[in-house]
Amino acid sequence: MTDSARARVIAALEQVDPDLGAFITVDPDAALRRAAREPGGRLRGLVLAVKDLVDTAGLRTTYGSPRYRYHVPTLTAPVVARLEKEGAIVVGKTNLNEFAYGVSGYNPHYGLMRVPGDRDRTPGGSSGGSAVAVAAGMCDVAVGTDTAGSVRIPAACCGVFGFKCAHGAVPMTGVHPLAPQHDSIGYLARSVDVLQRVLDIPELPPTRNVRVATADDVRLPPFPADDHWTVFREQSYRLHHERATRHPGEYGDDLHVKLSQPVGDVAMARAVLHRWRIDFVRSLAGFHLLVLPVFPGDAPTVEEVLRDYRDRTLHTSDRLLSITPIVNALGWPALAVPTSDGPRQVIGPPGTEASILAVGDRLSRG
């Protein structure tokens, strides 16, 4: 076993604090065995945590659901297998909103997730455990998924970087779906250089050549949120509605609230969203990237989140999801960035990933 690999794994495991709720399953023995094989590659020695929505062979994968409490996959999802092939070492599976359907940072079956620097707040979700693990030093990088903001929101709450890949850029095989037309892989880390290594981007372009807009510089078309959620619900209902109706005890109260909402006119919603995408791209003419807030306000408090769950309301979720779904409706990549003015997200079309990282790095440095 290399000293560096062993030391990194042990140091990460020593930071695991059950009170933060970052992990559903930790497997120190497997991590140390993996380190003993001296993995090479561009990610050599990086300690990896994986959202418990993503299959890992031989390691329990619950999807955040009691129904899968004892589920152990026989195959590892390609997104994780590729990272392992490059030398990353998996230490465990991170907590999440049930089936990734939520952004509260609370799972009624596996517990609360808490922001390491302020334990009275949750990291949001659904990849909340991944963000907590990164922020607390329990890993160097974490895999998440982002269907409506589920990487960027917890990254913003925890003060780390969260990159949402373009839709379809990374295979979703072995990842439990939520809304397949919007589901994307994402990665969380404490620095842009780690994300560079994960995304295999050898060099970032100089930012002086990147034209960046804010909402003050362009006239963005209003986001048709109702139509977006109509399309979203049509997909998620297909996966969960019948099962939740027949086996209600398998689902938390918050999912029952979401799965009881009317779907709406899907064909009309798709047509509206198609026109909106055309108008959105036109509005950015002359610019390469767009910078927006991640959400208004601060990370949600534990009190707010638990009150919403108890009262079967979605006030906190509605606030956290007021901006991020735009990117999923576009299918674009985006990066949540901690800045001195609060978290921001850098957005651009597919192919601008290197520029997104470069601008994000610049913003984070002030």
Evaluate if residue 287 carries a pLDDT over 80. Answer: yes
Q: Would you please indicate which residues are annotated as catalytic (active-site) residues?
A: 51, 126, 150
Tokens, residue 311:
């009262």
Indicate if the pLDDT at residue 2 is higher than 90: no
Say what the pLDDT of residue 1 is: 41
The pLDDT tens digits for 43-63 are: 998 999 999 999 999 999 999
**Closest by Cα among 42, 198, 180, 59 to 134:** 198
The phi and psi torsions of 336 (rounded to 5 degrees) equal -85, 135
pLDDT, one tens digit per residue, over 232-282 is 999 999 999 999 999 999 999 999 999 999 999 999 999 999 999 999 999
pTM of full prediction above 0.85: yes
Residue 48 parent element (H or E): strand 47-51
Q: pLDDT by residue (tens digit) across 154-169?
A: 999 999 999 999 999 9
Topology annotation, domain 1-214+287-366: Amidase signature (AS) enzymes (3.90.1300)
Distance of CA 266 to the CA centre of its chain: 26
Question: Which of the 8 DSSP states describes residue 212?
Answer: E
Structural domain boundaries of the chain? 1-214+287-366
- The residue-averaged pLDDT of 132-147 equals 98
Signed CA dihedral, 27, 153, 333, 259: sign only: positive
